[in-house]
Amino acid sequence: MNIVLVDYGAGNIQSLKFALDRLNVDAVLSSNKNEILAADKVIFPGVGEASSAMQKLESSGLDLLIPELTQPVLGICLGMQLMCSHTEEGDTLGLGIFDVAVKRFKSDVKVPQIGWNTITNMKYPLFHNIKNNEYMYSVNSYYAALCKETAAQTQYGLNYSCALQKNNFYGVQFHPEKSSKAGSQLLLNFINLNL
């Protein structure tokens, strides 16, 4: 299987590569359009600030490529947020794959959220063999609201979408590569998707 991690200079892609190595899954880091198009699965990571990450995507033309992909695509953290319609962070237009806006947490909770939080109302197949109320590790100041594409929820001041799915596109707000065994299970579920 041919797995590509989209390498557009936004954050710590190495951790994800190491997590896949631990699962004996080969993956290549690439920003090459042809390599991404030819991949069986595409993982779209990202940490950092939204508007500068979006600029990096635009300067490489990946902003046009990613929404057109037909193989399974998994956005992680900022990657997932950039797949949404808009984010309040830097007032940034997203890729518009998920029909939901990303907002900043209100100050009734500590911002950023840092740590392990529970996930509920999960949809299959991404959450196969992951139990309700499992803990996943998140670091985020912004969240995608609940919407018809919500594939799992987390509560932090309010209930938000910690996972989204639409057709071949998946996104998770938490970091599966840092979420111990449950996170590894989620990565394996994505790798094993048949589409």
Q: Is 134 a catalytic residue?
A: no
Could you tell me if 144 and 100 are in contact, meaning their C-beta atoms sit under 8 angstroms apart? yes
Binding range to another protein, per CB under 8 A, among 31-39, 91-99, 159-167, 178-186: 178-186
Nearer to another protein, 142 or 169 (CB): 142
- Binders in 118-147 for another protein, by CB under 8 A: 118, 135, 137, 139-141
Q: Is 77 a catalytic residue?
A: yes
The helix/strand/coil state of 142 is strand
Neighbours of 70 (CB within 10 A): 9
Q: Is 175 a catalytic residue?
A: yes
Residue 16 φ then ψ, to 5° = -70, -40
Could you tell me if 42 and 72 are in contact, meaning their C-beta atoms sit under 8 angstroms apart? yes
Helix axes 180-191, 13-22, angle to 10 degrees: 80
Nearer to another protein, 41 or 175 (CB): 175
Q: List active site positions.
A: 77, 175, 177
Binding site for another protein (CB under 8 A): 11-12, 14-15, 18-19, 21-22, 47-49, 107, 110-118, 135, 137, 139-141, 155-156, 175, 177-181, 183-184
